[in-house]
Chains A and B, each alone.
Chain A
Amino acid sequence: MALSLSQSIVVGLADFWSRKVRSLITIFGIILGIMSIIVVLALVNGVKEMSMEWMMQSGGLSKINIRGNWEYEDRKADKSLSLKQVNYIKDVCPEAVAFNPQSNIWAKLSYGSKKEQQLIVGAYPDYQIAETWTTQQGRFITDTDIRNKSNVIVLGTTIKKSLFGNEDAIGKLVGMNGKKYQVVGVMKYRYMKNRWASEGQSDNAMEWKNKNSFIPLSTMLIKEKADDRIWDFSVTASSPETSVELKEKISNIILNFKRGKPLMRVTSNYEESNQSDDNFKMMTMIFFLVAAISLLVGGIVIMNIMLATIQERTREIGVRLSVGARRFDIFLQFLIQTVIITTIGGILGVVFGLSILELVGKFLQMKAVASEQMVLTAILVSVGIGLIFGIFPAVRASNLDPVEALRYE
Chain B
Amino acid sequence: MDIIKTISLTKDYNMGKVTVNALKGLDFSIKKGEFVAIMGPSGSGKSTLMHILGCLDTPTNGEYHLDDTQVSKFKKRELAAIRNDKIGFIFQTFNLLPHLNVLKNVELPLMYAGLSARKRKKIALEVLDSVGLGDRTKHKPGELSGGQRQRVAIARAIVNNPAIILADEPTGNLDSQSGGDILEIFNTLHSQGHTVVMVTHDRLVAEKADRIITIKDGLIENGTLT
Contacts and interface: CB of A to CB of B under 8 A. Distances in A.
A2 B80 CA distance: 10
Interface stretch (A120-128, A178-186, A313-321, A338-346): A313-321
Contacts of A3: 111-112, 114
Interface stretch (B91-99, B125-133, B206-214): B91-99
Interface string B76-98: 11001101110001010001110
A173 to B, nearest CB: 89
Given A2-B112, A324-B112, A403 B51 contact: yes
Given A4-B114, A319-B95, A326 B56 contact: no
Contacts of B108: 319-320, 323
Contacts of A401: 57, 76
A12 B156 CA distance: 21
Interface string A302-335: 0000000000000110111111111101000000
Contacts of B113: 1, 324
Contacts, number: 64
B109 A323 contact: yes
B6 interface: no
Contacts of B109: 323-324
A18 interface: yes
A321 B114 contact: no
B156 A326 contact: no
Interface string B137-169: 000000000000000000010001000000000
B91 A326 contact: no
B54 A322 contact: yes
Given A323-B84, A403-B57, A316 B112 contact: no
A321 B87 CA distance: 12
A361 interface: no
A319 B84 CA distance: 12
B51 A324 contact: no
Interface of A: 1-4, 7, 18, 315-316, 318-327, 329, 401-403, 406
Interface of B: 51, 54, 56-57, 76-77, 80-81, 83-85, 89, 91, 95-97, 99, 108-109, 111-114, 156, 160
5 nearest CB pairs, A to B:
A324-B84, A1-B114, A326-B80, A323-B109, A324-B112
Given A4-B114, A319-B95, A323-B83, 13 more contacts: A1-B114, A3-B114, A7-B111, A18-B99, A320-B108, A321-B56, A321-B80, A323-B108, A324-B84, A325-B84, A326-B77, A327-B80, A329-B112
